[in-house]
Amino acid sequence: MSYLLALLVPPLALLFQGRPFQAVFNGVLWVIGLVLVILPITGVFVWGASVIWALAVVHARRNEARDRRLIEEALRRRG
- Range 18-43 average pLDDT: 87
Query: Quick check: 24 pLDDT over 90?
Result: yes
This prediction has a pTM of 0.80
Q: What is the CA radius of gyration of the chain?
A: 16
- The 10 Å CB-count burial string (b at 16+, else e) for 30-45 is beebeebbeeeeebee
Q: What is the pLDDT of residues 32-75, one digit of tens each?
A: 988 888 877 777 888 888 999 999 999 999 899 899 999 999 99
Residue type, 79: G
Q: Enter the DSSP assignment of 42.
A: -
